[in-house]
A and B are shown apart, each in its own frame.
Chain A
Amino acid sequence: EVHLLESGGGLVQPGGSLRLSCVGSGFTFSSYAMSWVRQAPGKGLEWVAGISSSGALTFYADSVKGRFTISRDKSINTLYLQMNSLRADDTALYYCAKDWSARTMYYFDSWGQGTLVTVSS
């Protein structure tokens, strides 16, 4: 069974940084593209960033380009999201999502339970 476990969320001041992690199990982590999707409180889903199975290709939403960096470490089955220059509108529950294929993106067939990021002074 596929399992995705996010961590690293918390309270951070505007302008600060945070690194989210997502550990995958129950599947061959290095064979699938992965993404981060966020959901602000009471709002809809917003795709944030994606990475190919090899890590060679990365993609970002305009709202985070230049501030967030997605990466992965296949040796420990972990996906990361480095978030810099955080703003209040980055406040959200951040989900890690596994893609069905190696390419980025097709559809997300497994999701974690999310980690909450709150940006506030």
Chain B
Amino acid sequence: DIQMTQSPSSLSASVGDRVTITCRASQSISTYFNWYQQKPGKAPIILIHSVSILQSGVPSRFSGSGSGTEFTLTINGLQPEDFATYYCQQTYDLGSFGQGTKVEIK
């Protein structure tokens, strides 16, 4: 099984900050890699798929990068509505998720 490890597990940031979340896969997963956002009491929504492709309707302040086993989600200019939990997912072999990164207000 492929394990996904996110870091940090939580972070505090201010509106306008640049935030970076990292996800590491236990083996190479090509470009079968996605990021989701989940707000309290809501279902997750897809932000970025295939490492760096922004889902339609997602603000351009979100971006994804990486390859092989190391991937990054960057939020440039954090907005109040971005405070949420973010999950990475690999679909190279089944569909395991990372443990999540909670982005809180500083």
A residues within 8 Å of B by Cβ?
Answer: 35, 37, 44-47, 50, 59, 61-62, 95, 100, 105-109, 111-114
Contacts and interface: CB of A to CB of B under 8 A. Distances in A.
Interface stretch (B12-20, B22-30, B73-81, B87-95): B87-95
A59 B96 CA distance: 12
B99 interface: yes
A108 B95 CA distance: 10
Nearest to B56: A109
Nearest to A61: B94
Contact of B87 (A45, A59, A61, A109): A45
Given A44-B97, A61-B94, A107 B46 contact: yes
Contacts of A105: 91, 94-95
Interface in B29-47: 32, 34, 36, 38, 43-46
Interface in B56-106: 85, 87, 89, 91, 94-100
B89 A107 contact: yes
A105 B33 CA distance: 11
B3 interface: no
A44 B49 contact: no
Contacts of B89: 45, 47, 107
B94 A44 contact: no
Contacts of A111: 43-45
Contact of B100 (A44, A62, A107): A44
A44 B87 contact: yes
23 contacts: A35-B95, A37-B95, A44-B85, A44-B97, A44-B99, A44-B100, A45-B97, A45-B100, A46-B97, A47-B89, A47-B96, A47-B97, A50-B94, A59-B94, A61-B94, A62-B1, A95-B43, A107-B34, A107-B50, A108-B36, A108-B46, A112-B43, A113-B43
